[in-house]
Amino acid sequence: MNAAVICLLSLIVFAFGYFVYSAHLARHVFQLRDDEPVPAHTHEDGVDFVPTNKHVLFGHHYASIAGAAPIIGPAVAVVWGWLPALLWVVLGVVFMGAMHDFATLVMSMRHDGLSVGSVSAKVLGPRTRTLFLLVIFALIVIVVAVFAKAIAGLFIKQPGTVIPINFEILVALVIGWLCYRKKAKMLVPSIGALVALYAMVFVGIDNPVSLASLVGAENQMTAWVVLLLAYSFIASVLPVWTLLQPRDYINSHQLLVGMAALLLGIFIGQPHMTAPAINHADAGAPPIFPFLFVTIACGAISGFHGLVSSGTTSKQIACAADARPIGYGAMLGEGLLALIATLAVGAGLGDFSVHYHHMPSAPQGVGMFVQGAASFLGALGIPSNVGQVLVAVLVISFAATSLDTGVRIQRFIIAELGESWNIDALKNRYLGGGIAVGLPLLLFLAGKEKTLWPLFGAANQMLAGLSLVVVSVWLYRERRPWAYAAIPMALVLVIAAAALISKAHTLFSTGHFALATVAALLLLLELWIVIEGAVAVARSRHEAEQPA
């Protein structure tokens, strides 16, 4: 089948999602008003609570959620065929993922910018706050370890990316200073930075950077992971205007330009799908249910996005109505990236059986996406070596954004745990940032990261389901339509529970006892929070039945 036709039909569904479904949610479910107070104004502090132009904030939010996961997940999941992956990406994004991101953003915005874990204490009961925070804490440790390894692997495989990526960071610091201190507009400098970034790609191709000569080829991965985590620590403790906002704004332009070029390549090249629509994978692949869903993970619905929505974005919303284009619209953009990833490995690699004779690992999935996407750029006359570096820079930029955003969010979570446990030291942002990068480093050094992607996917979607538990109960208590959240909540929790049960069994049988215990504990926490949600609904119903 022609990949361009598949792409066009998917874009039509995405357009329906934004112009029809999200408008209905904004008007009839969340009842957004332009004039309602928002935390960025009521708690403005110049560090975390900063009223931000919606275009700049869209860039930060989009770049923070659109990391490597919507690329890795679909690139691996095509082992079951392109059709199941495509259906879950497109329909999952419109009716579940984008709704989840939008809902958690609005809910946090109306609870003083608190994280979804802290909001759960107000909505479900005080016990759930610590439960939620522990789930989030465990997920982010896994996220940071996985993404740091993925970026390090791309730096090693594509050394031409090192110079342009570091150039982007330095330029973002300059733009942040100009825009915040000198009140300059961010649009023109960021576009100039994007043009310069593309020029630096050619510099990087001519001057590849490798750490092999300094630390030895066998130690490159570790060295890059340490450097990436050190960078993430610094980025997480700086004010958001210093690096986070300008870099993410540049990255949002880069992603839009990159995806536009890839879409143009698809429509010009008219590639045909070489992967089977449905593939009965048998070479070490787990069953399609539930693992297709948790493998694609962020490409359809992601609990991590709720952490971004309630962790950083809700503290920067300048106008309540901005929540719709930022919350719902950015997830559609992530769905578009997942769609392109599905088409890249389904139509851009040639002989499917050569690449998918066994289930690929996460790093292999990234490599195949880079190769397949570069073939789309080839339809625009871009040489393969240049195209692969361009795509790799795109992937690294967004994986790095999710990496340091994850560390910043973990700092917030550690501070909230410190508040719950009356440990004032945990509220220190430097100590919190150190813990946020130290534990993923230990996980990486322990050599367990190879088993983490399926566990990450299951925990990630479990968190999305639990966040929707809080949203559903909140809407129920507010006497607003709550089925829009409750239906996807039920589906995602069933998928996540099935995946965690299967993964715990596999990890235990292969001797990964610590990770098997983590999976089992996550399953117990899911059940506990669901019970707390049911109790909160019953309590609210009982209160409503009492005479005034």
The model's pLDDT over 153-196, given as tens digits with 9 standing for 90+, comes to 889 989 999 999 999 889 888 888 887 777 777 778 888 888 99
Residue listed under structure tokens 């962790």: 311
325 contacts 25 by C-beta, under 8 angstroms? no
Chain centroid offset of residue 195 CA = 26
State which amino acid sits at residue 124: L
- How many C-beta neighbours within 10 Å does residue 161 have? 28
Q: Are 234 and 165 in contact (CB under 8 A)?
A: no
Q: pLDDT value at position 281?
A: 67
User: For residue 219, what pLDDT is reported?
Assistant: 93
Backbone dihedral angles phi then psi of residue 480, each to the nearest 5 degrees: -115, 160
State residue 245's pLDDT score.
74
The three state secondary structure string of 424-484 is HHHHCHHHHHHHHHHHHHHHHHCCCHHHHHHHHHHHHHHHHHHHHHHHHHHHHHCCCCCHH
| Integer Cα distance of 3 and 343 in angstroms | 7
Confidence (pLDDT) at 177: 85
Report which DSSP code applies to 34.
Answer: T
Q: What DSSP character marks residue 26?
A: I
Tell me the torsion sign for CA atoms 285, 287, 288, 293.
negative
Instruction: Report whether 437 contacts 232 (CB < 8 A).
Output: yes
Distance between CA atoms of residues 75 and 78, nearest Å: 6
What is d(CA 453, CA 458) in angstroms, rounded to the nearest whole number?
9
SS3 for 348?
Answer: coil
Q: Residue ranges of the domains in the chain?
A: 3-545
- Give the start-end residues of each E strand in 11-50: none
Note the pLDDT of residue 450.
54
Contacts of 449 (CB under 8 A, 6+ apart): 145, 146, 149, 443
Number of Cβ within a 10 Å radius of residue 122:
16
Q: CA-CA distances (angstroms) from residue 171 to 107, 167, 246, 469, 546?
A: 34, 6, 9, 41, 61
Give the per-residue pLDDT at 208. 94
Name the DSSP letter for residue 285. P
DSSP state of 66: S
Match 């506990």 to its residue by tokens. Answer: 528
Residues of the chain under the 70 pLDDT cut: 281-284, 447-451, 547-548
Residue 252 contacts residue 58 (beta carbons within 8 Å)? yes
For residue 185, what pLDDT is reported?
Answer: 77
CATH 1.20.1740.10 fits 3-545, yes or no: yes
CA triplet 183, 186, 191: central angle to 5 degrees? 150
- Residue 264 is predicted with a pLDDT of 96
Give residue 377's identity as a one-letter amino acid code: L
